[in-house]
Amino acid sequence: MKQEAAQHKLLLLALSSCFVIPVLLLFLQSIAGEWRFPHLLPSSFSYYGWESIFQDASLVSALWTTWSLTLTVILLNLLLAFPAAKQLAFSSFRGKEMIETVLFLPIFIPALALAMGLHLTLLRIGLASTFWGVVLIHMLPTLPYTIRIVRAGFERLGSQQESQAQTLGASQVHVFFHITLPQLLPSVRAAIFLVTVISLSQYALTTMIGGGEVVTLALLYFPFAESASTQVMAAFSILFALLPLTFLFLIEGLIRLCLPYRVSKI
Amino acid sequence: MVQALSIQKLNKTYQKGNVLNEVSFSVKKGEIVSVMGASGAGKSTLLQCIAGIESCTAVQLELDQQDISNWSAKKRPIVLMFQDSLLFPHMTVLENVTYGLRVRRYNKQEREREGLYYLKKVDMVEHANRYPHQCSGGEQQRIALARALITKPSLLLLDEPFARLDESLRRMMRTWVKGVLKEEGVTALFVTHDREEAMLMGDRIFVMARGTVLSSGKPAELTESPENLEVANLIGEGIVLENRTFISAANLSVVLHKAQLPESAYYIQEGTVTHCFRRHGQVFLGLQLFTDKQDVILPAAGELKVGANVWVWAEESALQPLNGGCSSFSDDPKPAFVGENEI
Amino acid sequence: MMNEKRNGINKGAFLVYLPAIFLFSACAQEQDEDESADDLLEAGWEEVVAEAEGTDVRFHMWGGDEGTNTYIDEWVAPRLAEEYDIYLERVPLDTEEVVQRLYTEKQAGEGAGSTDVFWLNGENFRLAKEEELLWGAFAERLPNVEEYVDMEDPDVAYDFGTAVEGLQVPWGNVQFTLFYNDEHVTDPPATYEELLAWAKENPGRFTYPEPQDFTGNAFVRQLIYELTPDTEEVLTINDPNEAEERYGEEVWSYFQELSPHLWREGETYPSSLAELDQLFANEEVWMTMGYNEGRAEHLVQNETFPQATESQLFEQGSIGNTHYLSIPYNAQNKAGAMAAINFMLSPEAQIAKLDPAMWGESMVLEPASLSAEEQEEVEAIERGDTVPDEKELNETFEPEMDASFVDWVEQHWIDEVVRESS
């Protein structure tokens, strides 16, 4: 027994170091000065990387844009995915397979190809080069995943919980906030995280539809991928990775504040 | 007695066809009715239609003299208990039990007082602050019962609530739940596919098949004199001869030797003992009849060895004809009973 | 760095998008002629400046180089605001994306675009010109172009073989340069022949990015200038088959001979310049390169490259190219765009651009047209130890060849060099 526990600990340590060590290296890279091959640690340090990204005048506004964009995309995703996922999980209706296929097309067809066509339409209805145009285009690669995740959540939950609550006298709204949502939280978390990561990393779509009017962090960050300056790249990467985390904390906080039940185990 | 639930010509249709077909019955206030039938008979759908979770059409659907056919599930004073306890996993036991009061906007104090009262009733007070996954299956069903009773429903629907429990726990729960329901004076429909359970729980029994109620009556009426073959096969206690005649187990007697058969014996059949058991002090024999290939359980004076040969007999007056279209299995016009020897 | 990326000839990606555009553009509307903008091409300069006053100018440019970004944000923008009351907003966008979006906007008949000024050259310019995505011949209307730029100079008049015709204005130019680590390389090769000899003596210490990479492609192409004395002849060729016929044998035999002496014996090549830079930074190889003579300076300063980094130009010809600024057909603030571009071509802006603390890139102005004072200022700027001096740059400069050479190298290199050598 003791040996087994020790083995588990070792395995956990090994696994977590797989995640922690690269992040540490990245951080070290971002503050490294001279750091050449046989040396295990940088031989000098500099703030050059961090300095140059924070000097960028567009950073603050890009952060702000990215924030509001991602938040809007998340909320819209959840708003649309919940009813759709519920229908797909519990109802059978004519053309269900077709709708399922259409819903998952954006995963198979590159969103960029779809966006090309949408760009013209958005131009005509005056949404191109606007915040809402970009929000709309970000729905394309995110919504199918959200629906899929939430649908799996509904299927796991089953429809009987809701029926049970209804026969106990609960209204649809009450059932949603007290029964469904609390139990779908793991799915909601997963969806938020995925949507955030996908939305954050949309470079081509944002460029095309945003037309330079909507500048997100990805627009600042991606051109540096070709840069030889590893410090700048590393500093940007860390900043980029922090964003989904802040979202997760924010939403988690909101959930804890608003939902009446606090449970960790479901 | 006042009618609690009154249903006439209730229909439920899916794309594939009728699930419920002209169901009509009524339930008196405070009565517990068992709804018995094989799986697929439409029992669960019937409960869901009554609860308002499923839509249906009905000429009459009245609860306490009020037409509830257009009421939503939320509005109907009916609680449905499923096979699974369906406790809300993210709430404590107390929060679960008081959920019905919460949606009715009771304040916290009232909720807790009532909740603890009902938990006490189901003997689960010490579990109040636990979570459902910390309770056993039987405990979860007891909590679910408390959660249903707390809203004082006009009608409680139970959909095989013990199906997931093991045999001994099931036996215990039956008597106990019936006790609680009677104590509270609850009107209840109790769905089960288990004959014994149906008889034990119900003041009356509805026998269902193919989406309709075939027969209803007190447990003894149904087991001793079923109306037709299907009911006889489902619930009757006795033997069916040639699909046309039924002899209740109560009218059958067992003797060890042919010589012991009385003169009045009209129906006579030789059989063998397949098993032997004792319940409540009474010895029962499981018998297989040679000619009619029927199995029957009969009380006996003493234990017998498995494999022993016995004679089973009944008087002529015990033979009951079975009516209904189901006798068409056999076109044979000759008497359904053929005694091996007529004395 | 920035130039490699920005100049990146990536026709492939654009072509992939085209069918999609056609699919959805069947019912595109005709675009309205913008008459007031055409008037602007006739107007006097004072009028233009007056109209530009108090406006915002949106400058769409590739944003992957912090030096360039700093130059625009901290030098150009504040001065434009102060002197002309024009507010320059830099937006980091790939030129390819800008051209592609302009194309879609044209299909949709969108008259109000979001780009006022953008930065381009090469294939992007060719596409923009062919699809009529550019506004017009505004170059000659700019006073600073008139005064300091020779638009007839072949280095300026032809952008990768496409005639400029005043549709864009040169902003700067860059030249292909070899960088080496002085600690290990005492006698840097000045020709491809010497490079081969050096590689044989120092096996595994040299390599180049595969020609799918912009810089690697230029490195292979550049050999042609050493093989042929006739620059004019090279510039007349615009067909990959012809290139193969004329130079194929010599070019491929050179690289086949070089291959076994390269890093990892030529079995694998860095897939990008960034990878080669990493090898150079770690001193695994002793040379790197770049399509920008000034690129190593700040990498040495921020200690990415070894302190001993030095530069070397190929004597028989080092390819250079010019990059340009232009105004799209549907720019909303054309007057502001003209005024801003004019400012970026002023001697003070171009001299500031030379400063390695900012961008450190060459001027496009004719040195002779500058005042004595300004010429002194240019002299005074220390571009850094890693940057070849102006004279040497001018002497070795050879214009960029037609884009068909790029395709030719891409197509044949794998077959001729990788397969043959292995």
pLDDT, tens digit, for every residue of C167-185?
999 999 889 999 999 999 9
Residue B13 has pLDDT above 80, yes or no: yes
Q: Which of A113, A215, A224 sits opposite C91 (nearest CB)?
A: A215
B44/A contact by beta carbon, under 8 A: no
Q: What is the pLDDT of residue A38?
A: 67
Band of the pLDDT at B310, cuts 50, 70, 90? confident
Kindly list the residues from chain B whose CB atom is less than 8 angstroms away from the CB atom of residue A166: 52-53, 72-74
Q: What is the pLDDT of residue C29?
A: 38
Q: Give the rounded percent of residues in chain B with a pLDDT score beyond 70.
A: 94
Alpha helices in C33-142 (DSSP H): 35-42, 45-52, 66-70, 77-84, 95-108, 122-130
Q: Which of C1, C4, C108 sits opposite A124 (nearest CB)?
A: C108
Lowest-confidence range among A47-61, B73-87, C19-33, C116-130?
C19-33
Band of the pLDDT at B327, cuts 50, 70, 90? very low
Q: What is the pLDDT of residue C340?
A: 96
Residue to mutate among C27, C56, C291, C303, with most A CBs inside 10 A, is C303
Band of the pLDDT at C38, cuts 50, 70, 90? low
Nearest-Cα distance to chain C for A265, in Å, is 46
Residue pLDDT, tens place only, A64-83? 999 899 999 999 999 999 99
Q: Which of A52, A118, A223 sits opposite C92 (nearest CB)?
A: A223
Residue B342 in any domain: the answer is: no
Residue B227 in any domain: the answer is: no
The answer to whether C97 and C40 have CB atoms below 8 angstroms apart is: no
Band of the pLDDT at C341, cuts 50, 70, 90? very high
Residue B336 in any domain: the answer is: no
Asked if residue B301 and residue B274 are part of one domain, the reply reads yes
Which residue, B221, B249, B274, sits at the end of a domain? B221
Question: What's the ipTM?
Answer: 0.76
Asked if residue B270 and residue B196 are part of one domain, the reply reads no
Asked if residue B40 and residue B82 are part of one domain, the reply reads yes
Residue C62 has pLDDT above 90, yes or no: no
Residue B307 in any domain: the answer is: yes
Nearest-Cα distance to chain A for B74, in Å, is 4
**With b meaning 16 or more CB within 10 Å and e meaning fewer, what string describes A230-263?**
bbbbbbbbbbbeebbeebeeebeeebeeeeebee
Asked if residue B143 and residue B290 are part of one domain, the reply reads no
Q: Which chain C residues in 157-176 lie under 8 Å from chain A, judged by CB atoms?
A: none
Q: What is the pLDDT of residue C8?
A: 38
Asked if residue B246 and residue B164 are part of one domain, the reply reads no
Q: Give the rounded percent of residues in chain A with a pLDDT score beyond 70.
A: 93
The answer to whether B306 and B233 have CB atoms below 8 angstroms apart is: no
Residue B340 in any domain: the answer is: no
Which residue, B195, B221, B247, sits at the end of a domain? B221
Residue A182 has pLDDT above 60, yes or no: yes
Residue C1 has pLDDT above 60, yes or no: no
The answer to whether C398 and C235 have CB atoms below 8 angstroms apart is: no
Residue to mutate among A164, A175, A179, A180, with most B CBs inside 10 A, is A164
Residue B96 in any domain: the answer is: yes
Asked if residue B303 and residue B199 are part of one domain, the reply reads no
Nearest-Cα distance to chain A for C110, in Å, is 7
C284 contacts A231? CB cut-off 8 A: no
Residue A12 has pLDDT above 70, yes or no: yes
Q: Average pLDDT of B32-36?
A: 91
Band of the pLDDT at B341, cuts 50, 70, 90? very low
Nearest-Cα distance to chain B for A143, in Å, is 27
Asked if residue B203 and residue B252 are part of one domain, the reply reads no
Asked if residue B91 and residue B25 are part of one domain, the reply reads yes
Residue B343 in any domain: the answer is: no
CA B235/CA C83 separation, integer angstroms: 101
CA B233/CA B245 separation, integer angstroms: 12
- At what angle are helices C334-344 and C347-354 packed, to 10 degrees? 60
Kindly list the residues from chain B whose CB atom is less than 8 angstroms away from the CB atom of residue A96: none
Residue B338 has pLDDT above 50, yes or no: no
Mean pLDDT of chain A: 84
Residue C7 has pLDDT above 80, yes or no: no
- Number of domains present in the structure of chain B: 2
Query: How do beta strands B66-67 and B78-81 pair?
Result: unpaired
B53 contacts A167? CB cut-off 8 A: yes
Which domain CATH number covers B270? Answer: 2.40.50.140
C-alpha A61: how far from chain center: 20
Which domain CATH number covers B166? Answer: 3.40.50.300
Residue B335 in any domain: the answer is: no
Nearest-Cα distance to chain A for B80, in Å, is 6
Band of the pLDDT at B8, cuts 50, 70, 90? confident
Asked if residue B155 and residue B27 are part of one domain, the reply reads yes
Residue pLDDT, tens place only, C184-232? 999 999 999 999 999 999 999 999 999 988 899 999 999 999 988 777 7
Residue of B nearest to A94 (CA): B15
Residue of C nearest to A114 (CA): C20
Residue to mutate among B48, B90, B93, with most A CBs inside 10 A, is B90
Residue pLDDT, tens place only, A155-173? 999 888 999 999 998 888 9
Contact flag for B and C (3+ C-beta pairs < 8 Å): no
Sequence-separated (6 or more) residues with CB below 8 Å from residue C301: C356, C384
SS3 content of chain B, % helix, strand, coil (to 5): 30, 35, 35
Residue ranges and CATH numbers for the domains of chain C are 2-20+27-174+321-388 (3.40.190.10), 176-320+399-421 (3.40.190.10)
Band of the pLDDT at C342, cuts 50, 70, 90? very high
Residue pLDDT, tens place only, B251-297? 888 888 888 888 887 888 888 888 888 888 888 888 888 877 778 88
Alpha helices in chain B (DSSP H): 43-51, 93-97, 99-103, 108-121, 137-149, 167-184, 195-201, 219-224, 229-235
Chains touching chain C through at least 3 C-beta pairs below 8 angstroms are A
Asked if residue B255 and residue B200 are part of one domain, the reply reads no
Sequence-separated (6 or more) residues with CB below 8 Å from residue C260: C266, C421
Asked if residue B246 and residue B174 are part of one domain, the reply reads no
Q: Range of B104's domain?
A: 3-221
Residue ranges and CATH numbers for the domains of chain A are 1-46 (no CATH), 58-258 (1.10.3720.10)
Residue of A nearest to C111 (CA): A123
Residue C375 has pLDDT above 50, yes or no: yes
Q: Average pLDDT of A179-202?
A: 90
Kindly list the residues from chain A whose CB atom is less than 8 angstroms away from the CB atom of residue C5: 223, 226
Asked if residue B83 and residue B23 are part of one domain, the reply reads yes
